Structure 1
Amino acid sequence: MPKGYVVLTEAVKDPEGMGAYSAASAPSLGRGGASVLSVDARPTILEGQWHGDRTVVLEFESVEAAQAWYDSEEYQAAVPLRHAAADTNAVILEGFEMPARPS
């Protein structure tokens, strides 16, 4: 089963508010089985334009696990803090598994 990834791009308008969101959401990450792969304030843009000034990449065991974390009461309680502190885009992506090569 492919992994699930949550990618958030955030245009932070209230750093203290984002701190409150981070503190409120952190416990849900552990309980949801997330691995934080990246929190980057300066992504290298190769083409086009990128939204925001911070990008977060989370890894889950599956798309279903990512969706369950996002929909959880615990995480949803933190979401209004993020909405108040940043303009955010968020997506769930299905990981890619390379097909087996013939022997």
Structure 2
Amino acid sequence: MSIYVFGAIEIHDHDGYGKYAELAGRAMQEFTNAGFKIEPLSVDGNPKIYEGAQPADHLVLTKFESREDYEAFVASETYQKALPLRLASSNTRFMMAMDSI
């Protein structure tokens, strides 16, 4: 079953986060080249909130074919190299996976 990974991130170092995004993009490309399906659906640095409180200034939404695919992606060598860049340049409010319907 497909899942959607939704993240809310507060970026405090845009240059550092840009380096993360570049390396994470490379990890996504490697994963795609290996036959996995990753579909970035939205990346928004200026989301419009209609109800409630804004969780962060940067929201991301990505579709993976399965929870196992997502877990393999985040465990991949290239993504593991990218992750410290994200952690150093931002505060992750949440990174959650939702099942598709």
TM superposition score category, shorter chain reference: 0.7 to 0.9
| Partner deviation per Cα, 1:21-67 (whole Å, 9 max, x = no partner) | 01111111123331110001222223221221110111111121112
2:34 maps to none
5+ residue gaps, structure 2: 32-36
Runs of 4+ in 1 over 3 A off after TM superposition: none
1:21 and 2:20 are equivalent in the alignment = yes
What is the alpha-carbon distance in structure 2 between the residues aligned to residue 50 and residue 65 of structure 1? 29
How high is the sequence identity, in percent, across the aligned residues?
33
| Partner deviation per Cα, 1:48-96 (whole Å, 9 max, x = no partner) | 2122111011111112111211222221111000001010121122111
What is the one-letter code of the residue matched to 2:55?
Answer: H
Task: Name the count of aligned residue pairs.
Answer: 95
RMSD across aligned positions (CA): 1.3
Give the TM-score normalised by structure 1.
Answer: 0.83
| Counterpart mapping for 1:12-51 below 5 A | 12-32=11-31, 33-51=37-55
Larger radius of gyration: 1
